[in-house]
Structure 1
């Protein structure tokens, strides 16, 4: 079983969106969670995140959580939305060095996934359009 953890800042926009996309595409051999570097525990996904996922036929039952040692130990792979998130994880959890990547780095690219936080729903749609092909590429690599 492969355990994938997506990490962003507040765990209400990008990482839950990535979590739901991968969960809907992955099948039985991959478990998916998400967390945030500076998240509060128990917040739902943002309304625009839930709306965009619903527009794409996906349900979003999400409760935010702050990144913990348990997440690090559980994960086979940790995919961050930005290089800042990756560096923050490596600073707090240096033992995760071999399994933490930015999402774009893992799929042979570079750069960060744009943050839609606080923007109109159109920005969230753009983030979804950015995330979906990245998740497809991750899934392809994980199935090899």
Structure 2
């Protein structure tokens, strides 16, 4: 299964989600490929220093270059998980032929509306809170996919 995480600039939330999910999926021995992209990402931008630091605290390396969401990436993905309702709506508008595989992360995992808070421009503490929020949701996602693959 190919999973694509999407946020705004692909420097904070979606790259954090990508590596956190890779870690969770590895523990569950899931056969997945994972990427991330941003709706308004610069090509080859660097991940936020606080995102790198927040993940480093959990012994997870983030060596990341940002990438813009594209038709190719959406077509590659079996599942597109966005960080916010707005990201979902913009992705659905741009890639309407793929609407059936685009969800917010909270919608897909918990069946509820809601956004992942954006730590951009905030303190390390803001990034840690986002990391922890993502971590819980992505552990749930890994459990759910593990049950499906059995």
Which structure 1 residue ranges, 4+ long, deviate > 6 Å from structure 2?
Answer: none
SS of equivalent residue, structure 1 residue 137: helix
Which structure dedicates a bigger proportion of its chain to helix? 2
Q: TM-score, normalised by structure 2?
A: 0.93
Report the counterpart of residue 97 of structure 1 in structure 2.
99
Q: TM-score, normalised by structure 1?
A: 0.97
- RMSD, aligned CA: 0.8
* Displacement of 1:140: 1.5
Q: Determine whether 1:86 maps to 2:88.
A: yes
**Structure 2, unpaired ranges of 5+:** none
C-alpha offsets along residues 24-48 of structure 1, whole Å, 9 cap, x if unaligned? 1213501100000000000111000
SS of equivalent residue, structure 2 residue 64: coil
Q: Determine whether 1:106 maps to 2:87.
A: no
Report the counterpart of residue 142 of structure 2 in structure 1.
139
Q: Does the 8 A contact of 2:85 with 2:113 survive in 1? A: no
Q: How many residues align?
A: 143
Q: Distance in 2 between matches of 1:90 and 1:134?
A: 22
